[in-house]
Structure formats: C-alpha cells, structure tokens
C-alpha cells in the first residue's frame, strides 16, 4: 500500500488526503485522484499513514460465502483462518425437458436450494453467531441472493448488522476458496481517476 502511494505521488505529484465515508481520497497536484476504500472492519483514519496502518492491522472478520448448493463459513484473525466449515448439497441443474417436466424439475431445484440455504443458516448460527461479539465485520461472497437468504434468518441478526458492503466474487465455495477470500476481504480497493485532458 505504501509503495503504491509512492508510485502515485511519483506519477502525479504529492497528494493531499481527505477523509471520506469510504476511507481516504488522495488528490494529486495534476488533478488525478485515488479513492482508497478501507477494508471491512478497519477503523477510520485521519491521514495516510494512519490509513495504511489501520488497513494492515490484524482484526477478526467473519466470512460467509454462499451459492445455491454450497456454503463456506469462517473466522479469520489477521491473515489466518482460525475457524471454518464448508458444506455442499446437491442441487439439481437445469434440464432441457419442456412442459410439465420442466416445471416439476424447477420446483425440485428451488426446494433443494431452499433446503441447502436453510442448512447454511443453521451452520452460521452454530459457527459464526458465537463469534459475533469479537468480529469487526462480516464479509460475504458468492451469490447475493443466496447470502441474503441465509442472513434473513432472524437468529443471525447480530451477524447481519456486521455485514460489510463488499461482496466478494468467488467460485463454488470450497476450503481453498475460503482461505483465498481472506486476502480479498482485507484488501484496500483503489479507484484512480486520471486528470482531465487540458
């Protein structure tokens, strides 16, 4: 992060930092800007050194990755996964059959997906809910509808309150995907706008 900021300053001139709701806005002498979006759970910082330190500091975050037939849950302390569980369920794929058969298969697929997401909510109650008071944020990934369905369970209200705006784009949730999601959840997102041509 510090190296990236140095490179930005080399290309555009020394920037000034402004605190924004998402993190910091760097504005360079030539008019270029960089939005530094703080990672979920990182405390607000009044300046660039504080922002970099806060982003890099270890913190406990919850992870909930969900797709129709699979869920991966975990708690990360810093860059390490300390608690995890992955569960997969069979959900029938789409069929080429038409008419009544297609409707019957669609109903069966929906029922299987609902059952899988209900089990995912139960798993979140057992695994993540006891950790809620120690978490700085809950970072979700996968299919937004599946995640929303899991977190709609009333028992998970304390976790839903910690949900970060960021939704990670992940493939079918597996243990390796869960481990890889830690870095994505802790990353600083940067949006650079070059100066308008004169």
- Model confidence at 69: pLDDT above 80: no
| Cα Rg of the chain, angstroms | 21
Separation CA 167–CA 156 (nearest Å): 18
Separation CA 172–CA 83 (nearest Å): 19
pLDDT at 2: 83
β-bridge partners, 181 = none
Residues of the chain with pLDDT > 70, as a percent, come to 84
pLDDT band of 197, cuts 50, 70, 90: confident
Domains of the chain: 2-57 (no CATH), 60-186 (3.30.420.60)
Distance (Å) of CA 24 to CA 90, 142, 152, 188, 191: 44, 27, 32, 11, 11
Separation CA 26–CA 9 (nearest Å): 10
Residue identified by tokens 């806060």 is 54
β-pairing, 60-67 vs 70-77, is antiparallel
10-24, 26-40, 44-58, 83-97 — which is least confidently predicted? 83-97
Q: Which of 157, 196, 170, 191 is nearest to 36 (CA)?
A: 191
Residues 6+ apart with CB under 8 A from 156: 121, 124, 125, 128, 129, 150
Residues 6+ apart with CB under 8 A from 10: none
pLDDT 10s digits, 102-139: 565 555 555 544 545 657 888 999 999 999 999 999 99
Separation CA 102–CA 108 (nearest Å): 10
Q: Is the pTM of this model over 0.85?
A: no
- 197 in Cβ contact with 106 (< 8 Å): no
For residue 9, with 0-12 CB atoms within 10 Å meaning exposed, 13-18 middle and 19 or more buried, which class applies? middle
Q: Which of 64, 88, 67 is nearest to 145 (CA)?
A: 67
- Model confidence at 161: pLDDT above 90: yes
- Model confidence at 187: pLDDT above 70: yes
pLDDT at 67: 85
pLDDT, mean over the chain: 86
């Amino acid at each position: 992060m510090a190296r990236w900021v140095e490179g930005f300053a080399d290309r555009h001139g020394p920037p000034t930092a402004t605190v924004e709701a998402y993190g910091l806005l760097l504005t360079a002498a030539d008019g270029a800007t960089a939005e530094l979006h703080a990672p979920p759970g990182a405390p607000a910082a009044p300046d660039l050194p504080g922002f970099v330190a806060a982003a890099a500091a270890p913190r406990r975050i919850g992870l909930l990755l969900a797709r129709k037939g699979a869920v991966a849950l975990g708690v990360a302390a810093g860059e390490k996964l300390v608690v995890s569980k992955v569960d997969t369920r069979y959900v029938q794929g789409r069929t080429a059959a038409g008419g009544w058969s297609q409707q019957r298969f669609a109903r069966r697929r929906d029922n299987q997906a609902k059952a899988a997401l209900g089990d995912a909510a139960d798993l979140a109650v057992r695994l993540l809910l006891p950790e809620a008071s120690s978490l700085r944020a809950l970072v979700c990934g996968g299919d937004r509808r599946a995640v929303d369905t899991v977190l709609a369970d009333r028992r998970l209200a304390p976790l839903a309150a910690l949900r970060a705006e960021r939704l990670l784009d992940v493939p079918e949730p597996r243990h390796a995907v869960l481990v890889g999601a830690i870095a994505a959840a802790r990353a600083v997102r940067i949006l650079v706008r070059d100066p308008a041509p004169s």
